[in-house]
Amino acid sequence: MVTTENYVVDEYTKERDREIELAKKNGVDLEPYANDEYTGFQLH
């Protein structure tokens, strides 16, 4: 989970995890995007 001192970014990780699962199901290689800084929107 991405965190800062007083802020937890749950929606960011949920959206990102959802896109990763969809990519796996559809056989998409995510290796070029293996960077935790990408958002779910960017992975989509």
Task: Quote the pTM value.
Answer: 0.62
pLDDT at residue 38 in the model: 81
One-letter amino acid at 41 equals: F
Residues 3-28, mean pLDDT to the nearest whole number = 74
CA distance 36 to 38: 6
pLDDT at residue 8 in the model: 52
pLDDT at 15 over 90: no
CA distance 23 to 27: 6
pLDDT higher at 43 or 9:
43
